[in-house]
Structure 1
Amino acid sequence: MKSILLHIGDDEGLEARMQVALDLARAFEGHITCLQAVTYEIFAPGDFYGSAMAAAMPVIRENAEALRKKVEADLANEDVSWEWVFQFGMAESRLLEKSAINDVIVLGPNDIGETGPRPSRMVGDLLLHSRTPVFVVPNGQKKLDYSAPALVAWNGSTEACVALRAAVPLLAKASRVYLATIAEKDAKDRQDLPPVDGAEYLSRYGVHAEIVELPAGDAPVAQSLLAAAEARGCGYMVMGAYGHSRLAEMLLGGVTRKALTDPKIPILMAH
């Protein structure tokens, strides 16, 4: 994970994801690409002649430049390699373009301007359309303790396998790795690949994984997984992102949506 793509936006989660990106860069002697995207596509009802947009443009430019100066001043004091990329356009589009040449994308749990427990459309877009894993960082996260235990959500699906493979460099630094499954309620929920296959794959990289089977209670799967991670002192969780339709932009599966709704620890996700 030497090439880290960091989303820069003026929101309450910026400091948290900056810190996680810095911790990743230090752990892997990596490089951070700070991507700031600004769009002038402002919808103003009744603004037929573009007067509202014309008035807003100088303010948008000024705010963007002020944010850049602030973040660059902070990064100048850090001992990591970084660069700043400024582009016009929607942030998810610009991040998607850059994602192909990066190892991980660091994002917040909310879209810019939105708060509260709801999944981010931008995170969903990037998960479904990018082949690069996404690290979703909760607002208020102080650091990424990559040496802490880690929990891998496993259901034997292709998405779970993709996430597991993407996480190997990070899991190799964890003090303990838990490969967690949810007990089956019926035959239709059976796993494509058993957890022992995932554990054997990790063992080839020198990573010992402890298989943990969680009871299938009344709580949502995502909640059970996050609770298990918290109980074991995990620093982050790894899971596959499940989508019902590759043509839709946010038709993510129920487990993925719930995991992305107000996450309590960083989640490395891949689709």
Structure 2
Amino acid sequence: MAYRSMLSVLTDPKLVDPTLAQGIALAQEMDAHYDALCLGVDRSQTGYYYAGANAMILQETLNRAQQESEALEKSATDLLRASGVRWGTEAGVAQIADLGRHVAQRARFSDLVILPQPYGENTGAELEPTMEAALFEGQAPVLMIPTDCDPIRAPKKVSIGWNESSEALVAVRAALPFLIKADTVHVVVIDPPTHGPNRSDPGGMLSQYLARHGVRVEIDVLSKTLPRVSDVLMRHAKDAQCEMLVMGAYGHSRFREAILGGATRNMLEQAEIPVFLAH
């Protein structure tokens, strides 16, 4: 079991090298085809901007986006050509309001989408909708790469944030190519419910499922000793020296998480290791 078709969406010249370094490493490890979608993003907002704009200004923003996409494609081509993997690039222009459609169209036919961390200093506004489009409209798992993180190939220790949700189960199934190769997989359960069919054996059914795939599993039941679930998951991953974290994405609505916060958004903001997400 392996990923045979991988995709990265490139919109920021500063993030081309680390994103492609991770994609190339995995494509080499799994003998996969790796595509890079190089998008120049017109970040002007629809609506009020266009009311007072003339055709020259509108054309200038599109020309600038076109130049950005061509520069991104050149950088990607130079790196991919020297990598030895099977690859392809595509350049295009998208308005930020219509970005999701372009990303989802390619993500739908990819086994894994590799994207940079969407939050942080000097990050573009297009990174968040790019990730959400791959997860929701594209229905593809996403491997999020934190800033200044070394590429992973076959992580030896993996942590799973398990809360019995549908999103978490989808993520686990999608991550099986990684889990099967790992030496140890930690199923992390935080404050399991005191009532319910699995109250006496939290994480037991998932561990049985994984063990039948040959995955070497350990169950870690933890208390929520920090303010946020994401804090507990990240601290455990650091203590256990895990190289990757697997979790379901957006168990709450994206709007709710944007306003009130949530495990997915908090993890995307603070993660120091790659995070595998699926919805």
Q: TM-score, normalised by structure 1?
A: 0.87
Q: Map of 1:1-271 to 2, 5 A cutoff?
A: 1-40=3-42, 42-43=44-45, 44=49, 47-89=52-94, 90-110=98-118, 114-115=122-123, 120-184=128-192, 194-245=202-253, 250-252=255-257, 254-271=262-279
Structure 2 letter corresponding to 1:36: C
Write the distance in 2 (CA, Å) between the matches of 1:233 and 1:239: 17
Unaligned runs of 5+ in 1: none
Structure 2 letter corresponding to 1:85: E
- 1:183-230 Cα distance to aligned partner (Å, 9 max, x none): 247659x87x94111111111111111111122213311111011111
Change (3 A) 1:120 1:59: closer
- More deviation, 57-66/259-268: 57-66
Write the distance in 1 (CA, Å) between the matches of 2:119 and 2:233: 24
Q: What's the CA shift for 1:263?
A: 1.7
Change (3 A) 1:159 1:13: same
Write the distance in 1 (CA, Å) between the matches of 2:92 and 2:66: 12
Structure 1 letter corresponding to 2:38: Q
Write the distance in 2 (CA, Å) between the matches of 1:184 and 1:113: 35
Q: What's the CA shift for 1:26?
A: 1.4
Q: TM-score, normalised by structure 2?
A: 0.84
More helix by share: 2
The two structures, once aligned, show a CA RMSD in angstroms of 2.7
Write the distance in 2 (CA, Å) between the matches of 1:113 and 1:86: 26
Write the distance in 2 (CA, Å) between the matches of 1:229 and 1:15: 26
Q: Percentage identity across aligned positions? A: 26
- 1:52-98 Cα distance to aligned partner (Å, 9 max, x none): 22233333322321221122111111021110122332443212111
**Secondary structure of 2:270's match?**
coil
Does the CA contact (< 8 Å) of 1:146 and 1:235 recur in 2?
Answer: no
Change (3 A) 1:187 1:124: farther
Q: What's the CA shift for 1:115?
A: 3.0
The count of residues paired between Structure 1 and Structure 2 equals: 264
Structure 1 letter corresponding to 2:160: V
- More deviation, 98-107/123-132: 123-132
Does the CA contact (< 8 Å) of 1:125 and 1:250 recur in 2?
Answer: no
Does the CA contact (< 8 Å) of 1:40 and 1:57 recur in 2?
Answer: yes
- 1:226-249 Cα distance to aligned partner (Å, 9 max, x none): 11111111111000013434xxx5
- 1:158-207 Cα distance to aligned partner (Å, 9 max, x none): 1111100000011112121111111247659x87x941111111111111
Write the distance in 1 (CA, Å) between the matches of 2:121 and 2:88: 25
Does the CA contact (< 8 Å) of 2:115 and 2:131 recur in 1?
Answer: yes
- 1:113-135 Cα distance to aligned partner (Å, 9 max, x none): 9539xx93432343233321111
Structure 2 letter corresponding to 1:262: Q
